[in-house]
Amino acid sequence: MEQIKTNDLIMTLATLEDLFDLEDIEKECDAYFAFDPPCASEHNRSIKECLTMGDIIPGIEDENYHRENYFFYCIWQKNTLIGFLSYYLEYKQKDAAYLSVLYIKETYRKRGIGVEILEALSSKLKTAQYKKLHTHCSLRNATALCFWVKNGFDTIVDVECDGNLFLENFGGLELMKVIS
């Protein structure tokens, strides 16, 4: 089984056997992001759908999507599932990837785990000849915006906003990092 390893973490490709624990983390994730209305173009899929059929990137036409380019990982610290991540290869061009989800349980945050994950993923992608890594962040999530910028996602590729950022309107940024 394909794994991504760091000093303290192991990321394994998720399977349906992980579904119950992943859905438990997803509940925390949903509560955490309740402050943000969903994006109109977003294709929100359940974790089960992501594991069985993948997930479609917002703005990418279905005929351009290839299931074999989608990866969903469980993030383990020791023997405890602490989060998950998913990404796509060949995002809009052959040498770009898109990190669609990185979620770490709240009790494990502010310990450098996110940085460790991004370094390991960037290294894996660089070895595979990818040069860019994209992600998306809500304009309402200042903590996440600071995290992404501090970790090299310092190029704004796209701004998505339903008018002014009123409570009922979504706003987000597509950010990009050059993998070096």
More confident residue, 79 or 92: 79
CA angle 17, 32, 80 (to 5 degrees): 35
Averaged pLDDT for residues 17-25: 91
- Residue-wise pLDDT for 142-164, tens only, equals 889 999 999 999 999 988 877 76
- Residue-wise pLDDT for 40-73, tens only, equals 444 467 788 888 877 765 555 555 567 788 899 9
Give the pLDDT confidence score for residue 34 in this predicted structure: 64
- For 162, the domain range is 3-178
92: pLDDT confidence band, cut at 50, 70 and 90?
Answer: confident
Give the pLDDT confidence score for residue 111 in this predicted structure: 93
Tell me which range, 5-14, 85-94, 158-167, is most confidently predicted by mean pLDDT. 5-14
Q: What are phi and psi of 24, to 5 degrees?
A: -65, -45
More confident residue, 34 or 10: 10
CB-based contact 156:175 (threshold 8 Å): yes
Give the pLDDT confidence score for residue 98 in this predicted structure: 93
CB-based contact 120:5 (threshold 8 Å): yes
Report the C-alpha gap between 28 and 122 in whole angstroms: 26
**Residue 114 is part of a domain; what is its CATH number?**
3.40.630.30
**Scanning the structure block, which residue is given the tokens 């998950």?**
84
Ranking 62-71, 78-87, 109-118 by mean pLDDT, the lowest is 62-71
Give the pLDDT confidence score for residue 63 in this predicted structure: 56
**Scanning the structure block, which residue is given the tokens 């997803």?**
26
How many separate domains does the chain show? 1
CB-based contact 172:160 (threshold 8 Å): yes
- Residue-wise pLDDT for 121-136, tens only, equals 999 999 999 999 999 9
Report whether pLDDT(9) > 80: yes
Q: How far is CA 79 from the centre of its chain?
A: 22
pTM (2 d.p.): 0.86
